[in-house]
Amino acid sequence: MQGDAVEFQVKDKEINTKRTSPTERFLAELPVQVAKAFLFEGKIRPVAFTVSEESLPVKDEALLQRQFPNMKRQLLVVGAEEPSEEIQNLSGRQIGVIFSGGPASGGNNVLSGILKALGRYNTLIGFEKGPDGLIKGEGLLISSKKMKQLINTGGFDYLGTGRTKIDTPEKFAAVLKTVQKYSLDGIIIVGGDDSNTNAIELAEFLSEQHNAGILAKPCAVVGVPKTIDGDLQINVGGKTLLPISFGFYTAARVYSKTIGNLLTDAASQGKNWFFYKVMGRSASHIALEVALQTRPHISLISEEIAAREQSLSDIVTYMTGVVVHRAKNGKHYGVGVIPEGIIEFIPEMKKLINELNKLSARLMTIKRALTDAGLLTENGFLGEQKVKELEEQYGVDNILTHPHILGLDYKISEIGFVAREQELSTRVKKDFIITAQELSDESRKLFMSLPDDIVEAMLLDRDEHGNLKVSQIPSENLLIRMMKERLRDMQQNPKRYEESGDLILADDTERKNFLKFVFAVQTGFLGYEGRCGAPTRFDADYSLNLGLTAGSLALGGQTGYMASMINLSSGAQPIGIPLAALIHGEERKGVIKPVIEKALITLDSPAFQAYVKNRDHWAEGNSSRSPGAIQYEGRLAAMMPLVVALNMKIITMGEIEAGKYPVYNIGERRDIFL
């Protein structure tokens, strides 16, 4: 068993075999591709990295010098054709690992890859529930016996995950204790952009502790790129250093199967429109991949909307135009794909949301001030005499006549009205919000025009960064409601729209088809069901090699790096990307913080251009595709993400149209746990 050479006071956790279906047992027995660099004399071994001559350009030199002076900026590459004997012979090393953020398919293969890199004489210790487990310091021994049952299956359920950030002196001190308790030589953080930002912060902290003599030996911190959103991609000077994060392709294929089924269903019954929102907090990579896979009649890309400064009205005009064109040709059905984060990319909505976020931050400041000053008594009363004084002190307009807006349950006086936030009508909230000093005239007008369900969603709690949780906003409902109003007006006043050129009806047949058209709509959100499915063969193989890379980096003491694999279609190679080169300053809760910038869709990318050139044709409805279920054996199992293949110029859209499909080739297939 892995880790037998070192004794630790760590927990053991059994696998729940009752949850292991025949499919999962089948998947666990499948061999996995291993890159040539990790194979030596037929066995899987770690690799030694050397510093490349290539230094990556940094985004904010002053920020790095100030906050990460100990972090390197050079790319790491495999230094020799054969693995270094020194790293192969290492023993007694203890490496910790956590999952951070939302789940993604391939996590179990990352753990399996790390284990294989560490070998028999080093130990892998997992910490449950993400950063919280690292803070609490309760380790879990990860062994080959356990991972043999979990490899190639989905979910983070063995270790769990969490969204806690290690961001206070107390939390950093707690992690330091955990490092000392288990004598850790390395920590691997599997996560997205925020989690990898936390990784470099922890790497800098532990380097400082070692340099100061507080930590007896170095502890390397390594990141692994994980997010279904696909917004961890790195391209520098025309070179692809990180093609995609693991979990993206599985989620996109799960959603594509559903969209493909809906396309067939819509055509079968011929009377319904389906509008489905797909996950993707900021970037629209998933929406683009789903569009390329299925070719729906309408697809929206948030980045294009922002770049072209399209308003809500512009978007509704485009969507309505597609619906009308199909309706007048007798096609009263269709499917639309909407990215989750679209609301923040519409210019006027983005401005409103930013202003509401500022208002939210001010309200929370006031709430803390009231509480810290002891102005709220135990029974929740606020002395009436304090109202005027507080209004003058905080410039809060009429907020203290609406104390419930703060989320505090208290009265103005003993006989005053008790107001709870959840008991308030949306109208009361609107009446308060429009008086706030943060709202511009344009935003105030827009806010008052929004339906109540949108307003309610926009006033819900912010995330840990003070930002709106866009998944809670039913953006698809807003667009559909506006489309219905536009269509109703067009059908009631067709001549007016014909005179303006916004409605073209060539003959009586088209007129009859359009006027009798009933806009019947079904909506849905494709999100959580895509995060923990059994990984595609691409994600299974890719994530295992990311684990091998991360394990090798940690064993080699390479701190502040993120694992990556390049050249995925022609024998992949492992590299280490310096996290320092990815950092830039971004405002979070009114303060500039170091963060890794999200990779959004660029409008000149081959994948986006392929979509643009074909979307009008797809809107006609003669090109829709149903990709079907994920394949685990056979030639279709080797397919890779279309956005990756197109952007890396592995394949062209013309070749895809001709029936070809992109295939990945990471390395030789091996049975990982014999």
- Give CA–CA dist 382/394, Å, rounded: 16
Residue 170 CA, chain-centre distance (Å), reads 28
Among all chains, which residue has been given the structure tokens 């025309």? Answer: 238
CA angle 364, 457, 408 (to 5 degrees): 35
Q: Answer whether 436's CB lies under 8 Å from 397's CB.
A: yes
CA angle 611, 615, 620 (to 5 degrees): 155
Q: Which two tokens stand for residue 311?
A: 């308003």
Q: Phi first, then psi: what are they for 380, rounded to 5°? A: 85, 20
Q: Which two tokens stand for residue 195?
A: 């989690």
Among all chains, which residue has been given the structure tokens 């706030």? Answer: 436
Q: Phi first, then psi: what are they for 593, rounded to 5°? A: -120, 150
- Give CA–CA dist 641/543, Å, rounded: 14
Q: At what angle do helices 248-269 and 285-294 cross, to 10 degrees?
A: 50
Q: Which two tokens stand for residue 131?
A: 């950063």
Q: Give residue 227's identity as a one-letter amino acid code.
A: T
Indicate if 372 belongs to the active site.
Answer: no
Residue closest to 81 by CA, chosen among 576, 573, 668: 573
- Give CA–CA dist 71/83, Å, rounded: 25
- Give CA–CA dist 394/411, Å, rounded: 19
Question: Whats the size of the chain, residue-wise?
Answer: 674
Q: Where are the alpha helices (DSSP H) in 16-106?
A: 22-28, 61-67, 85-88
Q: Give residue 231's identity as a one-letter amino acid code.
A: D
Q: At what angle do helices 386-394 and 347-372 cross, to 10 degrees?
A: 130
- Give CA–CA dist 315/348, Å, rounded: 12
Task: For the chain, state the CA radius of gyration.
Answer: 27
- Give CA–CA dist 190/162, Å, rounded: 11
The two most distant CA atoms of the chain are separated, in Å, by 86
Name 29's Cβ contacts closer than 8 Å, sequence gap at least 6. Answer: none
Cα-based distances in Å from 117 to 48, 246, 315, 556:
11, 19, 50, 11
Strand-pair category, 298-299 with 334-339: parallel
Name 216's Cβ contacts closer than 8 Å, sequence gap at least 6. Answer: 180, 210
Catalytic member of 132, 229, 231, 539: 229
Label residues 128-140 b or e (16+ Cβ within 10 Å = b).
Answer: bbbbbbbbebbbb
Q: Phi first, then psi: what are they for 191, rounded to 5°? A: -170, -175
Residues marked active site are found at 229
